[in-house]
Amino acid sequence: MHSVLRVVTFNTLFGGHSDSGLGLAERWDGQVEFLRSLRADVLALQECNFWDLLGRRRLHRMVTALGMAQGFLAEANVTTAGHRFHSAILLSERVAVDAEDADRTRYHHVMGWANLTVPGMEGLVELRNLHLDPFDPRNRAREVAPLGILAAPGRRSLVVGDFNTVGLGFAEPDWSTLPPHLRNGHLHLPGQAESSDRDALELLARAGFVDTSSRFGQETAATAAFGDGDVPRRQDLILASPAMAAGLVRYQVHMEPVDMGLSDHAAVSADFDLGVLAQGA
């Protein structure tokens, strides 16, 4: 096999700290050890609360602790509860940056993005790191609407992150076990079938994006919502444009963060064969 590009997405649950990110770093060291073991080339993180403070100190300490080459923080909007769920993109020394930035204008939290170059391959890999609206399914559809163009022929694109919606192919959850005040963030509008609103993912699928889990029969593997009283579901996703999906060779859900109490989310990884991608350039 040729050299692979490993892409990982992980929701850190308040950046590895207690008290919504304000408290002790009680999960930080465990997360560092786990993430280091994955040896990611592209690491997309969500819920990086307070990573903007003191000169983005937590961001840079994570980059250093993982042995990555560089990291970029996408600073999020303030929520109605006062949170700022920043996201981050960390890159290994194998990956160079052509451009990077963040978009808060149309997003409940933020979208971080980077255009990347990788060894032996001409052209760019276009990465988008999402943490979609957890409360309004209609807004999630609006958030992803401009991203369909990234699936155009020849464009090697990745849309990854915490989509806060149930992945396509995942069995319909039993929402009756979820308290009523939490259901509106997941279901269709009243008067429609009381089932999961997956419109955001349907839009991306119709545009041509491939859910990397589907190539390996992992659509039914839950990745999130393992907390008490929640409904486990698959919402941490790595979607690839057709040109990028041509190089897909592996997909895996990593349950260690949940099993070790490091987060209420698993991590997800996908490997892409750079030799195959180079041939398609």
pLDDT at 2: 58
Q: What is the pLDDT of residues 222-256, one digit of tens each?
A: 999 998 889 999 999 999 999 999 999 999 999 99
pLDDT at 281: 64
Mean pLDDT score, 28-54? 98
Q: What percentage of the chain carries pLDDT values higher than 90?
A: 93
pLDDT at 279: 86
Assess contact for 75 and 86: CB atoms under 8 A.
Answer: yes
pLDDT at 26: 96
Assess contact for 156 and 5: CB atoms under 8 A.
Answer: no
Assess contact for 216 and 245: CB atoms under 8 A.
Answer: no
pLDDT band at residue 59 under the 50/70/90 scheme: very high
Q: How many other CB atoms are there within 10 angstroms of residue 58's CB atom?
A: 24
Q: What percentage of the chain carries pLDDT values higher than 70?
A: 99
Structure-token pair, residue 280: 């398609």
Residues facing 206 on adjacent strands: none
Q: What is the pLDDT of residues 151-176, one digit of tens each?
A: 999 999 999 999 999 999 999 999 99
- Angle, CA of 156, 158 and 159, to the nearest 5°: 145
CA distance 30 to 257: 8
Asked if residue 147 has pLDDT above 90, the reply is: yes
End-to-end CA distance of the chain: 18
HEC string for the chain: CCCEEEEEEEECCHHHCCHHHCCCCCCHHHHHHHHHHHCCCEEEEECCCCCCHHHHHHHHHHHHHHCCCEEEEECCCCCCCCCCCCEEEEECCCCEEEEEEEECCCCCCCEEEEEEECCCCCCCEEEEEEECCCCCHHHHHHHHHHHHHHHCCCCEEEEEEECCCCCCCCCCCCHHHCCHHHHHHCECCCCCCCCECCHHHHHHHHHCCEEHHHHHCCCCCCCECCCCCCCCECCEEEEECHHHHCCEEEEEEECHHHHCCCCCCCEEEEEEEHHHHHHCC
Structure-token pair, residue 51: 């990573």
Of 64, 162, 156, 54, the residue nearest 112 (C-alpha): 162
Structure-token pair, residue 3: 């050299």
More confident residue, 62 or 80: 62
Mean pLDDT score, 276-280? 87
Asked if residue 1 has pLDDT above 60, the reply is: no
Asked if residue 198 has pLDDT above 80, the reply is: yes
Mean pLDDT score, 84-99? 98
